Structure 1
Amino acid sequence: MLELDDIIELQTNSQTEKLSFATRYLVQINFTFDLKVRSGDFSGTSHFCVRRDEIESFCKNLLDLYSSLKGSARIEDNDSDGFVEFSIEPNGNLYVNGQVGGTYEEQCMKFKFKTDQTCIPRFVQDFNKLLLNKNGNY
């Protein structure tokens, strides 16, 4: 296990809409994050676990979305039904929605907010820096 403390934050230019993945550790090919979301007056935090290949695919889909201004990109928590999804309109409005925590838990939060596509390159760049970490072994 490799302990990490990187924070990957979506730059939304808003104090009321925030999304971040605070990296906790890497075990073999599995990253564990604290997913933190603020959407309006609501906020939530939950563990979010994904494999390296899922992050790579998510980043590729985000860059495709950014360059074509169409489509969506989604990443899902492997330990619950939590997820984060980006979808875009042709005018560049970017919608970020998802669920923090699992529906089976005592508390979970669904969220949706609007930002613009200019936040995507830095977000992907930060994930790619994280992927430079080698596999965490037992």
Structure 2
Amino acid sequence: MPLEEGIVGDFRITILDAAQVIVSDEAHLQVKLPINLAGKVQVERRVFGQMVQTSVPINENLAPEVRFTPSIGSDYGLQLEDVSLLSLNGRLRVSVLGFQINIEPFVKGELERQLQNPRLLDLLGGFSLAPS
């Protein structure tokens, strides 16, 4: 996943535990899912005219919180509306050549793009409330 010009992330996400579902108000649900983000961040920069490449391993436990409005569609399937990522609940910083790079905004941005996927429920093993 390209994070920024010259920075590429290669991550594997593993679910660590069951999701916590919280009713945040009358219309919204909030889900907190403990995950492990493992992989590497590759940095390629030009320093004093020379191309410098390095790879930094990442192994962080996070607990992203997602807020959404559930609704039942015309096909009795569950639909998610107004999906937003509230927090990653973890720090994502890497040290490269003495510089601290905060990759949290890049990972958060990619997760937010994935949350807008209309097939999100299918990807999460969605379910239907339709009669059998």
Scaled by the length of structure 2, the TM-score of the pair is: 0.37
Query: RCO (CA 8 Å, sep 6+): is it higher in 1 or 2?
Result: 1
Structure with greater proportional strand content: 2
Greater Rg by CA = 2
Bigger share in helix: 1
